[in-house]
Amino acid sequence: MITDKMQAALNAQMNAEMYSSYLYLSMAAYFESKNLQGFAHWMHQQAREEWAHAMKFYKFINDRMGRVIVREIEAPKTEWASVLEVFEDVAVHEAKVTALIGKLVEQASAEKDHATGVFLNWFVQEQVEEEASADYIVQTLRAIGDSVGGLYQLDHRLGKRE
């Protein structure tokens, strides 16, 4: 069984994961409006992945005999000045999610909730990957600079994400 405090924190994280999905969907729409289909595809994949993360929290809360509470999802940003700015926002966002997961790990430890701690380990590792992926794209975009050809090569490459 899960404590009320942990249940509330996991529900909040589920909402944060849904927001992440919504944010990446907004970024996909932005890229589609710029005819950058590869970047849009990457963001669609990211949105689906974040939705799946939310559903992991949903299932875990139910498996622990808790109650899932679905809350309003905050509206995401919809405009960016450049492709680089979008991915800089991704990097900042993923760092924020990492911090949220870290707080959940601390709470699980403080409550001696070993089941939740084990569950959260997957997310700790996932955030390492998420931050590394965002940083790689930011660094690549910075290296590309104003090269339209470089931008389109990266667009093509990101369009192959499975």
What are the tens digits of pLDDT across the range 14-53?
Answer: 999 999 999 999 999 999 999 999 999 999 999 999 999 9
Please state which CATH class domain 4-158 belongs to. Answer: mainly alpha
> So what's the pLDDT on residue 162?
87
3-state SS, the chain, equals CCCHHHHHHHHHHHHHHHHHHHHHHHHHHHHHHCCCHHHHHHHHHHHHHHHHHHHHHHHHHHHCCCCCCCCCCCCCCCCCCCHHHHHHHHHHHHHHHHHHHHHHHHHHHHCCCHHHHHHHHHHHHHHHHHHHHHHHHHHHHHHHCCCHHHHHHHHHHHCCCC
% of the chain beyond a pLDDT of 70: 100
> So what's the pLDDT on residue 1?
85
Range 126-150 average pLDDT: 96
Domain boundary assignment for the chain:
4-158
pTM, two decimal places: 0.95
